Amino acid sequence: MFTGIIEELGRVVELEARATGARLTVEAGTILIDATVGASIAVNGACLTAVELTPARFSADLAPETLSRTNLGDLRAGARVNLERPLRASGRLDGHFVLGHVDATAELVSIDALGAGHWWMRIRMPKPMARYVVEKGSLAVDGISLTVAGIEDSVAGFTIIPHTYENTTLHTYRPGARLNLEIDILAKHVEKLIESG
């Protein structure tokens, strides 16, 4: 489990296509300090398992399901990625509960400067996902815990503070980019309980 608080930006070394899926290799620093083979690492919000480690990089295998549901298959050498280690039981929950199980990708509609380093970002979600999203609710976008500031149909808007813009991949994206989307797990559980009740 993760929190959506990005620890560092990694850099893609290689995305190697394989007979089934792919292998992703990423340069990193902070998140590798206590990593071991088999450790979970969230890459753009997708929980991956480190299968190879050096002091400066890790590799993870991407299943066909991961490639079909996320933007990881779009990555190229040199691309920046959001990285986060799993939440420790003794740690602070600064964001919200993020499982690292990406539901779908959303399209970046716009990211406009508001002044003083603040930004207004809008994303278009797949219509089936929109029913889970509420104003002032939490949403993981490329692994970043964000608060929904407005929603209209399937377009959600967020105010992005300078720290988030500068220390995540958001400053690298342009309209049309695909962003990983994870709906708040509590919303999905509540829906299932109501439907089965």
Catalytic sites, residue numbers: 2, 40, 47, 49, 63, 101, 147
Cα-to-chain-centroid distance, residue 11: 15
Are residues 62 and 73 in contact, defined by beta-carbon separation less than 8 angstroms? yes
Strands 80-84 and 144-147: unpaired
H-helix or E-strand spanning residue 195: helix 185-196
* Cα–Cα dist 148/125, whole Å: 13
Tokens, residue 48: 């991956």
* Cα–Cα dist 14/165, whole Å: 25
What DSSP string describes 132-179? T--TT-EEEETTEEEE--EEETTEEEEEE-HHHHHHSGGGG--TT-EE
